Amino acid sequence: MDSAQIERIVQNVLSKLKGEPSPPPSQATISLERKLLTEADVLRAAAQKVREIAVPPGVIVTPLARDTLKEKGIALIPSSPTRQGESENGSREVNSDGGGTIALGADHGGYEMKEAIKRALQEEGRAVRDFGTFSSESADYPDFPLKVAEAVAAGTCQPGIMGDGPGFA
Helix axis angle, 111-123 to 3-18, nearest 10°: 120
CA dihedral 148, 151, 156, 159 (to 10 degrees): 40
Residues 103 and 3: their CA atoms lie apart, in Å, by: 14
pTM given for the model: 0.53
* Residue 164 predicted with pLDDT over 70: yes
Region of poorest pLDDT, from 22-31, 77-86, 123-132 = 77-86
Lowest mean pLDDT across 19-28, 44-53, 146-155, 160-169: 19-28
Count, residues in the chain: 169
Q: Is 21 left (phi over 0), alpha (psi -120 to 50) or beta?
A: beta
The answer on pLDDT for 64 being more than 90 is yes
Q: Between 28 and 6, where is the model more confident? A: 6
Mean pLDDT of the chain: 77
What is the structure's pLDDT at 100? 74
Mean pLDDT throughout 50-77?
87
- E strands within the chain? 29-31, 36-37, 52-55, 60-61, 75-78, 102-106, 128-130, 160-164, 167-168
* CA distances from residue 26 to 22, 131, 143 in whole angstroms, order as listed: 11, 31, 38
Q: Tell whether the model's pLDDT for residue 78 goes beyond 90.
A: no
Residue 99 to residue 58: CA distance in whole angstroms: 10
Query: One-letter amino acid identity for 65?
Result: A
Percent of the chain with pLDDT over 70: 78
Task: Provide mean pLDDT across the span 101-108.
Answer: 90
What confidence score (pLDDT) does residue 4 get?
67
pLDDT confidence of residue 76: 85
SS3 106: strand
- Domains along the chain with CATH numbers: 1-12+26-81 (no CATH), 100-169 (3.40.1400.10)
Q: Is 1 helix (H, G, I), strand (E, B) or coil?
A: coil
